[in-house]
Amino acid sequence: MSKYLLIFLCLFGAFPLYSQEPEEVEITLPPIQAEAEDLLIERLSVDLPQTTLLPPAYDLLLPQPEFVRPAPSDIAFDLPLPGTDADAPLPQSQESVFFSEGIIGLGSMDHMLGDLSLYKVGREPRFSLHFYHTRRDGYQFAEAGSGFFNQQDGIEGRFSFITDPVSAETEGAYRKETEGLQQQGPYDSVSWSLLSGGGSLELSALKPFIFSVGLSARSANALLTAESPLRAEEITLNPVLGASLVFPRFVAKLGADYAYYVRTGPA
């Protein structure tokens, strides 16, 4: 133990003690190279099996439609029952019904009003008739008959007889209107009148052929009343012929018409 201690002391005494400043130390590092590797992106494609989404199946029991035949006492009208010809005409009422309506009135300025109508429906033939009259006289408190008046008259009628195989219809009308000129010229009043009418006849006995004939006429005139009245009139006639070929899914028609017009009096 003393031997080793002596050697240590000798070595320690051989080196003098002194202070020395540290020297600058250069450290050289090797260059660092940064390398970026290319990233490889691969697109994967996977074929998946095609599937079809089906709605869930429901088993619903719906009631089956049934035809309920009403009792005869529940039927208010004669309607065709199932199984009959749908194109057959509905049965017509065996009774004829007449009804009428009317208005009658009186008012100031000699105002008179009348409107009457008469109708027949149901069993053939059928017709309607309409008559009207209205008059006012004495506008601006003027005396009656001095030209301050207005009057309208008319009658209209219609007649039809529709059967198989012959059908006939006709109608006519007469209308007249008069206006007082209120002492504003050489004429006392002006009136317009129109007479018109027409009719048609159809024959269907030779089915599928149907033949028809018709005629319409009109006469219109204007009149200025004075010591020397002035009148203008025009007349129109229009006859018509027709033929048809009728099938359930096909219809062919052929027609011809003619128009006649004449006018008299000042333009």
Banded model confidence at residue 25, pLDDT cuts 50, 70, 90: low
The pair of three-digit structure tokens given for residue 124, joined into one six-digit string = 């053939």
Task: Please tell me whether the overall predicted TM-score, pTM, comes out greater than 0.85 for this model.
Answer: no
Output the average pLDDT for the chain.
78
One-letter identity of residue 118? L
Q: Which of the residue ranges 50-54, 112-116, 185-189 would you say has the lowest mean pLDDT?
A: 50-54
How far is the C-alpha of 166 from the C-alpha of 164, rounded, in Å?
5
| Per-residue model confidence (pLDDT) at position 167 | 93
Whole-angstrom CA distances from 27 to 24, 32, 34 are 10, 15, 21
Task: Please write the tens of the pLDDT for every residue from 133-182.
Answer: 999 888 777 887 788 899 999 999 999 998 888 999 999 999 999 999 88
One-letter identity of residue 225? T
HSE-up of residue 231 (Cα within 13 Å, Cβ side): 9
Angle at 53 (CA atoms; ends 47, 54), nearest 5 degrees: 150
| Per-residue model confidence (pLDDT) at position 5 | 45
Phi, psi of 13 (to 5 degrees): -80, -20
| Per-residue model confidence (pLDDT) at position 51 | 56
- Fill in the DSSP letter of residue 93: P
Task: Please write the tens of the pLDDT for every residue from 210-226.
Answer: 999 999 999 999 999 98
Residues constituting the chain:
267
Task: Please write the tens of the pLDDT for every residue from 28-63.
Answer: 655 555 454 555 555 656 565 665 555 555 555 555
